[in-house]
């Protein structure tokens, strides 16, 4: 399914070849989708944490991994007033009874989607800035297996678009969509798409000069990294604030503290076969070889990265697809080669 591919707020592949002034593509909120009975749309609250956990454990996964979170993983998002979470309930099936904005919403929870602020202020190398948590990442799109291929995901995408656009008005809603793709389409509109590499790691001593630090210690390092990237002239989208609400990030700095930085996320995904933890390098500003070596020593489990690493160091590339980001309702610094700098945990 395309990324909002039928709306004027999603750049077409042809438009990516044309220069454009920075700005919003569609300032007005779109209409909300019509969702027929027995389905009803609700705003998710902390009361829904158990139902979301059950849905995601059963239906969020891939061929070799499954979601390994719990209610504690989801509650920090449900209790944040800046996060918008929507759920779809099927009234024809028995489920818990949770009060929604229009009253009690009976039925089983069968789909979810979230819009999570990217950061307090998102800055771009072409000079634009979206402040007051104006930029979001749309994630947590999970549809019960038996309903896939029936347009339910389209309902959820249209619903989060229409809902957040109204909540943000008169400021337009702009967001990123992150997903894994098995292969690149002939005419992609991604602003960033890089192949995954993975390695099975055993925790060891960090390389000389590298050390683990706290989020507070890492913040000034991050500020320096973002400032340098935005001033370099390369197409960049960055945020200075960090999203550490789950406590699942590891921060590592190297010999050149304000240049060498690696951030690793515990992704809440685990291998089905043996229960191994799955980690991902979500940010690295040192050389690929040095950053990957430091990260590999810091965790025990499967480590994924989009860094250009080599098989001679034990990395396997090309078997896990690519990690792609699309941008919605905003003209980015560049398509295909934009550097995205933000520190956050995936929902």
The span from the CA of 70 to the CA of 76, in Å, is 11
Q: Is residue 59, in this structure, part of any structural domain at all?
A: yes
Domain of residue 63, residue span? 15-176
Q: Is residue 100, in this structure, part of any structural domain at all?
A: yes
Contact 288, 308 (CB under 8 A): yes
Q: Confidence class of residue 45 from pLDDT cuts 50, 70 and 90?
A: very high
Q: What is the CA radius of gyration of the chain?
A: 20
The span from the CA of 116 to the CA of 280, in Å, is 19
Residue 136, strand partner residues: 117, 175
Q: Is residue 187, in this structure, part of any structural domain at all?
A: no
169 and 201 assigned to the same domain:
no
Q: Is residue 2, in this structure, part of any structural domain at all?
A: no
Residue at a domain's end among 176, 211, 244: 176
Q: Confidence class of residue 65 from pLDDT cuts 50, 70 and 90?
A: confident
244 and 162 assigned to the same domain:
no
The span from the CA of 155 to the CA of 88, in Å, is 9
104 and 133 assigned to the same domain:
yes
- Residue 98: the pLDDT is 47
Least confident among 78-82, 91-95, 175-179:
91-95
Q: Is residue 37, in this structure, part of any structural domain at all?
A: yes
- Residue 292: the pLDDT is 95
Contact 78, 116 (CB under 8 A): no
Residue at a domain's end among 176, 204, 231: 176
214 and 240 assigned to the same domain:
yes
pLDDT of 110 over the 70 cut: yes
Contact 91, 106 (CB under 8 A): yes
CATH assignment at residue 95: 3.40.630.170
Q: How many domains does the chain have?
A: 2
Contact 82, 101 (CB under 8 A): no
CB contact burial 187-221 (16+ within 10 A = b; e otherwise): ebbbbbbebbbbbebeeeebeeebeeeeeeebbeb
The span from the CA of 242 to the CA of 122, in Å, is 11
pLDDT of 21 over the 60 cut: yes
Which DSSP string do the residues of 295-310 spell out, in sequence order?
HHHH-SEEEEE-S---
pLDDT of 31 over the 80 cut: yes
272 and 129 assigned to the same domain:
no
CB burial of residue 5 (10 Å; 0-12, 13-18, 19+)? exposed
Pairing of strands 84-90, 108-117: antiparallel
158 and 29 assigned to the same domain:
yes
User: Which residues make Cβ contacts (< 8 Å) with residue 342, sequence separation at least 6?
Assistant: 118, 119, 237, 238, 239, 242, 243, 283
Three-class DSSP category at 276 = coil
User: How many H-runs (helices) and E-runs (strands) does the chain carry?
Assistant: 5, 19
Task: Give the pair of three-digit tokens for residue 28.
Answer: 């007005």
153 and 242 assigned to the same domain:
no
- Residue 293: the pLDDT is 95
- Residue 2: the pLDDT is 53
292 and 152 assigned to the same domain:
no
User: What does the pLDDT look like over 139-185, one tens digit per residue?
Assistant: 999 999 999 988 899 999 999 999 999 999 998 899 999 888 888 77
Task: Give the pair of three-digit tokens for residue 162.
Answer: 């229409």
pLDDT of 51 over the 60 cut: yes
Top mean pLDDT of 71-80, 101-110, 145-154 is at 71-80
100 Ramachandran zone, left/alpha/beta (phi>0; psi -120 to 50): beta
Four-point Cα dihedral 153, 33, 27, 134, nearest 10: -50
The span from the CA of 79 to the CA of 250, in Å, is 24
170 and 201 assigned to the same domain:
no
133 and 219 assigned to the same domain:
no
CATH assignment at residue 306: 3.40.630.30
pTM: 0.92
The span from the CA of 334 to the CA of 229, in Å, is 14
90 and 225 assigned to the same domain:
no
126 and 215 assigned to the same domain:
no
Q: Is residue 306, in this structure, part of any structural domain at all?
A: yes
pLDDT of 103 over the 60 cut: no
Q: Is residue 250, in this structure, part of any structural domain at all?
A: yes
Residue at a domain's end among 143, 176, 209: 176
Q: Is residue 6, in this structure, part of any structural domain at all?
A: no
The span from the CA of 66 to the CA of 68, in Å, is 6
């Amino acid at each position: 399914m395309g990324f909002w591919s039928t709306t004027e707020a999603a750049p077409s592949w042809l438009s990516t070849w044309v220069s454009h002034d920075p700005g919003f593509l569609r300032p007005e909120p779109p209409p909300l989708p019509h969702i027929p009975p027995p389905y009803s749309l609700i705003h998710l609250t902390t009361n829904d944490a158990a139902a979301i956990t059950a849905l995601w454990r059963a239906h969020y996964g891939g061929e070799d991994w499954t979601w390994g979170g719990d209610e504690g993983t989801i509650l920090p998002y449900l209790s944040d007033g800046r996060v918008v979470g929507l759920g779809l309930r099927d009234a024809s099936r028995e489920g818990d009874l949770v009060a929604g904005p229009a009253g009690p919403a009976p039925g089983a929870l069968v789909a979810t989607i979230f819009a999570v602020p990217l950061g307090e202020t998102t800055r771009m190398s072409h000079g634009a800035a979206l402040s007051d948590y104006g930029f979001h990442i749309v994630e947590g799109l999970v549809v019960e297996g038996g309903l896939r291929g029936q347009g339910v995901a389209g309902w959820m995408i249209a619903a989060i678009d229409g809902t957040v656009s109204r909540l943000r008005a008169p400021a337009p809603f702009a967001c990123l969509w992150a997903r894994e793709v098995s292969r690149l389409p002939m005419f992609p509109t991604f602003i960033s798409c890089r192949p995954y590499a993975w390695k099975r790691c055993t925790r060891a001593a960090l390389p000389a000069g590298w050390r683990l630090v706290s989020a507070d210690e890492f913040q000034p390092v991050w500020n320096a990294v973002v400032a340098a990237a935005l001033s370099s002239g390369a197409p960049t989208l960055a945020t200075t604030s960090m999203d550490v609400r789950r406590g699942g990030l590891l921060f590592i700095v190297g010999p050149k503290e304000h240049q060498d930085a690696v951030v690793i996320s515990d992704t809440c995904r685990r291998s089905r076969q043996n229960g191994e933890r799955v980690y991902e390098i979500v940010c690295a500003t040192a050389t690929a070889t040095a950053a990957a070596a430091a990260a590999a020593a810091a965790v025990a489990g499967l480590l994924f990265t989009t860094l250009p690493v080599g098989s001679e160091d034990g990395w396997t590339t090309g078997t896990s697809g690519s990690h792609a980001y699309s941008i919605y309702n905003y003209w980015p610094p560049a398509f295909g080669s934009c550097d995205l700098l933000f520190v956050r945990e995936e929902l």
